[in-house]
Amino acid sequence: MEKTLKKPSENRGMANRKRRDMAFYASLVALPLIQFIIMYIVVNFNSVLLSFQFYNGETSNYEFLPLNDFFRNFARIFDDIGRGTENSMYLAMAKNSLYGFLATLVGVGLSMIFSYYVFKKMFGHNFFKIILFVPSIIPAMVSVIIFNYFANSAVKDVVVKIFHGSMEYGLLSNPDTKLGTILFYNVWIGFGTQLLMYVGAMNNISDSMLEAAQIDGASALREFVSIIFPCVYSTFSVFVTVAFAQIFVNQLSLFSFFGTSASELSTIGYYIYKQVQGISKDGEFNSVAALGILCTIIILPITLGVRYLLRKIGPSVD
């Protein structure tokens, strides 16, 4: 009886508590959600709209293209691609983007091996951990300035004065070595965050598992293949998936090195940034937006497919 009498007030209390929880929750998530809606959903939706619009200089407005020419911004890109691999600007940029992607994959693999070295606390592990991390705190422009003069002037001087060889151009001035040097630079400065994540994942592996393997006489290679790699596989697959997702975003630090004149080294990511940066007023955003949409359409299924495959073929932690 007493219970029945208490029920309405208890219910009211619960309802009040739920309402207060809800209000508190809403007050926390409201602002970040508004930011997300504007800067992600609206921005990307608008990106699709822009790719079907043109800038009318007379009215200073973006207007939709006429129906008979609705795909004009895309048609320009396809016209260029139709010129073939030798003459197409977009295909040349896509090729450079793929080189950048391969360099990223090399970095992902090397980071894992270096992390294993650090995790196993082998000779000089603390020193190497700091050294590998340092480039990620150096401002891009600072490392580019120093690397630029080092690769172009100091290396040349070393070859000529110390090794008595001949070198006509610096590494970044010689067309034959330019791309290779840029790819090397991007791998060279990119270990920091990956190293932290891999070592963090390796540190989460239980000591008992490693000790059991040691008692069973497992070699280091066996330990790496059978325990370490399966345990860090999820981290590895995130890096590989992100590498795919970033193929057409990666700028290869070209803007830092060459400003707007990277010409034959251009990647899609660099081109988009260069175009947008160069538009000082309300200019021609539309063809760049169309290029972005097209690249997203190409890379989206590839990235999702890669993610699916990585999950499917990955080693089992069990």
Partner 1 sequence: MEKTVKRQNRISRFNNAEKIILVILLAVLAAYALSLILMFGWAIMSSFKTPNFYRKHIIEFPEPITIENYVNAYSNFYLRSDDVTSRVIGFGEIIMNTLLYAVGCSFLQTLSCCVMAYATAKYAYKLSKIVYTTVIIVMILPIVGSLPSEVFVLKRVLHLYDTMAGSWFMSFNFLGMYYLVFYEFFKSMPKDYNEAAEIDGAGRYTVLLRIVFPLTRNMFFTVMLLKFIVYWNDYQVPLVYMPGHPTLSYAVFRFMSIAKDGWSNVTQKIAGAMLVFLPVFVLFVIFHNKLIGNVTMGGVKE
Q: Supply the minimum distance, in Å, between the C-beta of residue 249 and partner 1.
A: 6
Q: Supply the minimum distance, in Å, between the C-beta of residue 144 and partner 1.
A: 8
Cβ-based neighbour number of residue 30 at 10 Å: 10
Q: Supply the minimum distance, in Å, between the C-beta of residue 162 and partner 1.
A: 8
Q: Which is nearer to partner 1, 179 or 245 (CB)?
A: 245
Q: Which is nearer to partner 1, 68 or 186 (CB)?
A: 186
Q: Are 278 and 209 in contact (CB under 8 A)?
A: no
Q: Supply the minimum distance, in Å, between the C-beta of residue 188 and partner 1.
A: 7
Q: Supply the minimum distance, in Å, between the C-beta of residue 151 and partner 1.
A: 9
Q: Which is nearer to partner 1, 1 or 221 (CB)?
A: 221
Nearest C-alpha neighbor of 248 from the set 106, 121, 99: 99
**Long-range CB contact pairs, 314-317, < 8 A, 24+:** 314/230, 314/233, 314/234, 314/237, 315/229, 315/230, 315/233, 316/230, 317/230, 317/231, 317/233
**Long-range CB contact pairs, 252-259, < 8 A, 24+:** 252/96, 252/100, 252/103, 252/182, 252/183, 252/186, 253/140, 253/144, 253/182, 253/185, 253/186, 254/182, 256/140, 256/141, 256/144, 257/144, 257/148, 257/172, 257/182
Q: Which is nearer to partner 1, 1 or 191 (CB)?
A: 191
Q: Which is nearer to partner 1, 92 or 189 (CB)?
A: 189
Q: Which is nearer to partner 1, 4 or 166 (CB)?
A: 166
Q: Supply the minimum distance, in Å, between the C-beta of residue 17 and partner 1.
A: 10
Nearest C-alpha neighbor of 205 from the set 178, 250, 235: 235
Q: Which is nearer to partner 1, 2 or 57 (CB)?
A: 57
Residue 20: φ, ψ to 5°: -65, -40
Strands 53-56 and 61-64 come out as antiparallel
In terms of Cβ atoms closer than 10 Å to its own Cβ (0-12, 13-18, 19+), residue 296 is: middle
Q: Supply the minimum distance, in Å, between the C-beta of residue 175 and partner 1.
A: 21
Cβ-based neighbour number of residue 64 at 10 Å: 10
Q: Supply the minimum distance, in Å, between the C-beta of residue 4 and partner 1.
A: 26
Q: Which is nearer to partner 1, 305 or 315 (CB)?
A: 305
